[in-house]
Amino acid sequence: MPDDNLLQVRSIAAYDDNYIWLISDKHCAVVVDPGDAAPVIQYLKEHHLTLTTILITHHHADHIGGVANLLAWCASQGLAKPVVYGPAHEDIAVVTERLIESDIVSIASPASVFTVLDVPGHTAGHIAFYLNTGHQQHIFCGDTLFATGCGRLFEGTPAQMVDSLGKLKNLPDQTLVHCAHEYTLSNIKFALTVEPQNKDLLAWQETAQAMRRQGVPTVPTTVGHEKSVNPFLRCEEASVIESVKQHQAIKDTDPVTVFAHLRSWKDTFKA
């Protein structure tokens, strides 16, 4: 089994608000969703790391845009070609290993084992990667779950997204949530509009604002934390249902109905 002491998980900032996640031991690295190659190459050079594996959650350009340049750079260094894993249900030319729910990605270096979850909704074939080192659990969830928010429904249905978020919600509470964007402060503004009395959320706003003032990423958060502050994981809470009802008449209080209204409310919300 991989040893936590050997594996490090780091975020690399890219574009305006993207995070590329990098998992490494002392010598080798895995990257998740490298939308841009340049900051990854810089990190690999600075830390003398060999890139062995690229994991892709979905087809959007800000998640796959750097793959071709990373492969070209590795080739120019005389390094072995990294293996590129991605969703089976999306057509992504750079992906060579196509994955579905429950597939296992077993990597020799850095020694790590990822389990695949199908999480459609943001895109039709979106997947997430779960890593359990024995000491710490991690979920790399792309644009499905964000700190205090969730991805827009570009291709999937509310029912699919509720099911996908349910899978993430069922992970152990201490699981670190490695999402792909720094959207936290604006997500908190919306969440407080939905649940102005949520004490955990009010405390989180203070903490997150202080982190951003210091230029510190607000992610990863944890599954347990998200369950207490993220309205999209709280569609069965009376406070969330009541707030959605106040905003718009709803035909029933089924979690899918509540989620669908909450998501479209957020889509037009001005922070």
Among all residues, which ones are annotated catalytic? 58, 60, 62-63, 122, 143, 181
Pick the piece of the chain touching Zn ion (CB under 5 A) from 25-33, 54-62, 104-112, 128-136. Answer: 54-62
Residue 181 binds to Zn ion (criterion: CB under 5 A):
no
Backbone angles phi, psi at 254, to 5 degrees: -60, 140
| The two three-digit tokens of residue 117, written as one number | 């979850």
Least CB distance from residue 83 to Zn ion, whole Å? 22
Residue 60 binds to Zn ion (criterion: CB under 5 A):
yes
Pick the piece of the chain touching Zn ion (CB under 5 A) from 12-20, 33-41, 140-148, 185-193. Answer: 140-148
Backbone angles phi, psi at 49, to 5 degrees: -110, 145
Output 152 or 227, the one with its CB closest to Zn ion: 152
Pick the piece of the chain touching Zn ion (CB under 5 A) from 55-63, 156-164, 165-173, 203-211. Answer: 55-63
Number of chain positions touching Zn ion (CB under 5 A):
2
Least CB distance from residue 207 to Zn ion, whole Å? 26
Least CB distance from residue 58 to Zn ion, whole Å? 6
Residues 209-238 that bind Zn ion (CB under 5 A): none
Output 132 or 266, the one with its CB closest to Zn ion: 266
* Residue 206 identity: E
Question: Which residue of 143, 182, 195, 226 would you call a contact of Zn ion, by CB under 5 A?
Answer: 143
Interface contacts to Zn ion, rule CB under 5 A: 60, 143
